[in-house]
Structure 1
């Protein structure tokens, strides 16, 4: 789930890897952001890889008594374990300190970010646990979203469909935007979010990926960019979070609020032949799909398909009061295309 909300802001993002045409030359990144980018490149050179698991699995692994302090880079940047200075190469620690992500912890340190791999690229995102209101999400949903997106982009290429303007709405750390940008190098891709921390990390992640055709911007859904789009992709928050953290809380009925708002807006912004690709979660009730019932009227006049790609995600949420009348939470994939004529 990426970070979106319904509050509006219109400031430009200072750390984007590319700029709007009217902005001129890119702004020079600050020293901490430059150090974070250099750190990412050092991890790439070291062959670092880590796959992010669910919070429940992460907690189980971290709780193992036989291993508390980090032993290697994956423990530091993946499992969010505290570490002593000798657990990482000196140049890595220097860059962490320069980037401001090495937090003192007892007689050692703790990294305030994680780094995960998807599709051969590395992405900075929030450390475990993601308790902060402005946490930047990356997890199993990101992998499902990424795989489905890669499949659709490959199909579009095989059909000769071109993309000139695309947007990843609620981009978070930017894996969706990078996937589109690398698959469509001639397209202008917008990575949109309202979370300042997400926008900063997204800018760094786009540079790490070599996605030079991405414009990282602050936007409430699509409200702060103009014009039609050939492709809109999104993995918005879809849970009911008691703390209403931006990266988790979807609002509305059973967390579907943001997803429905995005669909309602996106169908008015698609260019002829343009496509919306939405990955979201649905709280299934009494063996029925309330999101499908709510979204169907919004898709009038479009050609669309709807697929349940994982029948059971975030099962632990069923123990919370908000989901006492829910059978399961499923991950679904919506593809909607505006006819050319």
Structure 2
């Protein structure tokens, strides 16, 4: 079953959330999202107990009083149903982050809910990797898909560069698809279509460009945005590689940004990739983008034998005649 695309009508609640994003844009709001560990450290400083500005409310997810944001924004938050009242003040259930001149709505901190929609340093690295690839590529993108789209940041970036392209943003998380539709409206990228799909199962056709930044952690709670499954969190990444290669159009490319657990100097994900692609005529390239991400996770039981978690980028290109 295919979900509604970004041209469909937003619910009244999501219309209010879109208007909230528009209002924040008009006020010059800008926020760069950091890792969860850094977020905790910053918020633990005594002067950061309460929000005193928009960054504190919509970026740092701090409690706030009504006066901090003013009546107009408060009413939009009420209409969007993103307010929680507590003994220490109000809190927003969403955050807004900046990337490339656009704002993206996603889940507030901490992202504990099963359907939380994550945005963070991985998102910045992922979109930067897409930009670098497209800057070097001479191929026009007519049809693209962002697998496990989350906020839709990658799909929106591609649609912004190729306004006439059909860009499908697929996810099994309905909240993520709601946020993607709002973010695409805010970025004025009508080419983005948000579709309910388990990986590529409901995506349509073959693609000039497939991009994915799947969950890659071993999460005891198995939250959708975070748990990669399989061997050391590589399950979803390998499934996307397997399914994505089959859906590449001639000359098409797959960009897979993921994280890998390095144990005793061994990258088992790279070994699986080499085994999968080594006997094919596909061109591929694999490299580390960051040798050490989410170091705090190494204290968890699942990572007791892990040296580090690295962010990697796999690029696979099908030849023009294949």
Q: TM-score range by the shorter chain?
A: over 0.9
The CA distance in 1 between the partners of 2:296 and 2:50, in whole Å, is: 28
- Report the Cα offset of residue 90 of structure 1: 1.4
What does the per-residue CA deviation read over 1:29-67, in whole Å, with 9 as the maximum and x for residues that have no partner? 221111111110000100100011111110111111223
Task: Tell me what 1:251 maps to.
Answer: 229
- Report the Cα offset of residue 185 of structure 1: 1.1
Q: Is 1:127 the counterpart of 2:108 in the alignment?
A: yes
Unaligned residue ranges in structure 2 (runs of 5+): none
- Distance verdict in 2 for CA 1:74–1:296, change over 3 Å: same
The CA distance in 1 between the partners of 2:219 and 2:186, in whole Å, is: 32
Task: Tell me what 1:302 maps to.
Answer: 282
1:49 aligned counterpart, secondary structure: coil
What does the per-residue CA deviation read over 1:208-260, in whole Å, with 9 as the maximum and x for residues that have no partner? 11111011000000001232111000000001000000111000000000000
Q: How does 1:182-261 map to 2 (within 5 A)?
A: 182-261=160-239
Bigger mean CA offset, 254-263 vs 30-39 = 30-39
What does the per-residue CA deviation read over 1:135-156, in whole Å, with 9 as the maximum and x for residues that have no partner? 0000111111111111111212
Task: Tell me what 2:60 maps to.
Answer: 79
Whether the 8 Å CA contact 2:250–2:319 is kept in 1: the answer is yes
The CA distance in 2 between the partners of 1:246 and 1:11, in whole Å, is: 20
- Report the Cα offset of residue 315 of structure 1: 0.6
Give RMSD over aligned pairs: 1.0
Task: Tell me what 1:317 maps to.
Answer: 297
The CA distance in 2 between the partners of 1:187 and 1:226, in whole Å, is: 14
Give the count of matched residue pairs: 319
- Report the Cα offset of residue 294 of structure 1: 0.4
1:305 aligned counterpart, secondary structure: strand
TM (normalized to structure 1)?
Answer: 0.92
Q: How does 1:1-341 map to 2 (within 5 A)?
A: 10-13=1-4, 16-18=5-7, 26=8, 28-106=9-87, 108-156=89-137, 159=138, 161-299=139-277, 300-341=280-321
What does the per-residue CA deviation read over 1:295-332, in whole Å, with 9 as the maximum and x for residues that have no partner? 12322221011110100001111111111111110000
The CA distance in 2 between the partners of 1:294 and 1:135, in whole Å, is: 29
The CA distance in 1 between the partners of 2:89 and 2:205, in whole Å, is: 51
Task: Tell me what 1:6 maps to.
Answer: none
The CA distance in 1 between the partners of 2:27 and 2:101, in whole Å, is: 13
- Report the Cα offset of residue 107 of structure 1: 5.7
Task: Tell me what 1:7 maps to.
Answer: none
What does the per-residue CA deviation read over 1:166-201, in whole Å, with 9 as the maximum and x for residues that have no partner? 000000011010011111112100000000111101
The CA distance in 2 between the partners of 1:312 and 1:108, in whole Å, is: 37
Unaligned residue ranges in structure 1 (runs of 5+): 1-9, 19-25
The CA distance in 2 between the partners of 1:92 and 1:131, in whole Å, is: 25
The CA distance in 2 between the partners of 1:137 and 1:322, in whole Å, is: 21
The CA distance in 2 between the partners of 1:89 and 1:145, in whole Å, is: 35
- Stretches of 4+ aligned residues off by more than 4 angstroms: none
